A and B are shown apart, each in its own frame.
Chain A
Amino acid sequence: MKVQPIAAQLPESRPERPGGKKREYLVQARDVSVFYGDKPALHGVTLDIEQGKVTSLIGPSGCGKTTFLKCINRMNDLVENCRVEGRITVAGQDIYAPDVDVVALRAHIGMVFQRPNPFPKSIFENVAYGLRIHGMTRSKTELADRVEAALKRAALWEEVHDRLHEPGNGLSGGQQQRLCIARAIAIEPRIILMDEPASALDPIATARIEALIDELRGDYTIVIVTHSMQQAARVSQNTAFFHMGEIVEYGATKRLFTSPRDERTQNYITGRIG
């Protein structure tokens, strides 16, 4: 199933870039609306997310950016009375089609949450769990190798290699969050969704997470929700500004922060609203 390029009709759905290079869009949202009961949280969001890039979703509290993020791996299914309308495709497949298995979907779309939430198990078990349930390793040594690889990729190996069997929640907040990233990337997802991954961390731990996000770019398509405009400017290539459940502006990060086209974007990034 191939989604027809519809950028011509919906110019605002794609970040424009100078130069006519062909871009790959992994996630394509068309006219997505979300309701919690009768209360609408998102109206008609249309957005294409570029493959291998970091896309940040910014906006004031309650603007729907996290709601949109959770639509991409269908975490909203867990919320009672939540209804999603519109169409979201990932690699061309409609993820809300009736024959889609959420478990398979989530195995390909990792998620990192606002507060670090390692399992109350050992560091090793935290990373190994996903590999185990998806049956991705055949032997114990393979399992150990992949756990090590994931921890190295998440820049945590140096700090924990001598205490892999100690509890994961004995680590510091920043280390826990990197452990959660290691847990997510261990099962080789295509996309990683991050819901304000650094908001509970101090500036030094935040800097490490940001460096890690930059490091992971290219191999993974990353969508990050953030409150911090500086963070969005630092880590992302594309930025979408959400306001009152709508996308106000979407574009290359550099362009959006230097010459916003919408007045509301301008007001938000200069600190007048939000």
Chain B
Amino acid sequence: MTDTSGRTLDFTARPAALRRRHAAEARFRMAGRLAILLAFGFLVLMLGAIAHTGTGALKQTQIRLQVALPADAPASTDPAKADFGGLLKQALRARFPEVSGRKDKRRLYRLLSIGAEERLREAMLEAPAPGAQERVLTLWLPASDEVDLLVKHDQPGRLGEQEQRWVAQLRESGEIRVAFNRGFFLNGDSREPELAGIASALAGTAWTLAVCFALSFPIGILGAIYLEEFARKGRWSSFIEVNINNLAAVPSIVFGLLGLAVFLNLFGLPRSSPLVGGMVLALMTLPTIIIASRAALRAVPPAIREAALGIGATRVQTVFHHVVPLALPGMLTGTIVGMARALGETAPLLMIGMVAFIVDIPGSILEPATALPVQIFLWADSPERAFLEKTSAAIIVLITFLVFMNLIAILMRMKFRKRF
């Protein structure tokens, strides 16, 4: 293998220097793969752990009970007068006739959740008009959180031996089932874990994000367009730019303090309301949207602007007919990224009182509300063990929301993308 000049040409020889260069490359590749594997592993671990704990909250233990309605039962049209608790206690005593003594009886009553009364009321309203004779309703009633934990996870918790025996007895006879927990999605918050749901927090989040979007999207986009396309570049515009960049890095709790001082104390807007929450989150989201939108506008080739201006389009026509349509995918992505951050934000909402215990589903932006991440925070702080799985389940809902929003961002980018 020699060329005409007599030098040897060997492409298979690997001198030490070349070997070292290849080794460096191999090391870098390895390190890169390892980093990705590690990141992915942590993600799977986190999601797996949450999913593992959280799925339990989607199911609920129910106890079948035959509730006897006496002939003189109060009219179902006037449930306020009915003694649902009494009827249930009676039914429980009928199921376990051997139980006697006040203490034991009280323990027996604690097998059922307080929500069972509500369920009985609903059943009585659904049932046909009561006749003169006695009726028996067979109902699946929610069990208490402790029974729920025992049945689902085999954790006796504070339940004594006697209660465990009763549960075992009910289980054997098929009087206990684990059913889908609709209440988790339909109920508001509750002190009773088995009744607590995320509906109020979801509604609060939806209202808050709606306010946040309505404020930050138009202001952010228009601000970015003005700064990028119309404002004179000078000392003022660079001063504003520096400030916007700094605002994007301000810790979110500071925005919460600002909301507390200005929106609540100065303007007197309603405390705990999605209106104020949305306004605070909008302040926080604005810099993100402006920065992303300006980057998107800057990425539009100047040739497009020259083309439009060159045939006599005005500045506004140039921007809105040609530049903005091309920058829109980037602007929308920035907006959704900002909104996704707002969705997961807790600290500023704590400052303006959205940390309240909210049972009712808020119907407007002025009613007191809480938000999903705050609900997670509240539940994680609760002493009852059963709230653990509620917390995880709420996190799953939050993450689902996030994934959904990012999906929208990707779809929008694909829809609006144009070649230029």
Contacts and interface: CB of A to CB of B under 8 A. Distances in A.
A119 interface: yes
B236 interface: no
B311 A78 contact: no
B310 interface: yes
Interface residues of A, number: 27
A52 interface: no
A107 B312 contact: yes
A184 B311 contact: yes
B381 interface: no
A267 interface: no
B322 interface: yes
A10 to B, nearest CB: 30
A120 B312 contact: no
Nearest to B317: A133
A100 interface: no
A112 to B, nearest CB: 8
Contacts of B306: 75, 78, 111, 113, 117
Contacts of B317: 133
B310 A169 contact: no
Interface centre among A105, A111, A119, A130, by most chain B C-beta atoms within 10 angstroms, is A119
Given A103-B314, A133-B313, A167-B419, A118 B307 contact: yes
A243 interface: no
Contacts of A178: none
Contact of A119 (B233, B308, B309, B314): B308
Given A129-B311, A129-B313, 4 more contacts: A106-B312, A111-B311, A119-B308, A120-B420
Interface of A: 73, 75, 78, 80, 103-107, 110-111, 113, 115, 117-120, 129-130, 133-134, 167, 169, 180, 183-184, 187
28 contacts: A73-B310, A75-B310, A78-B309, A80-B233, A103-B314, A104-B312, A105-B312, A106-B310, A107-B311, A107-B312, A110-B310, A110-B311, A111-B306, A111-B311, A115-B303, A117-B304, A119-B304, A120-B304, A129-B308, A129-B311, A129-B321, A130-B311, A167-B419, A169-B419, A180-B307, A183-B307, A184-B311, A187-B311
Interface of B: 233, 301, 303-314, 317, 321-322, 326, 418-420
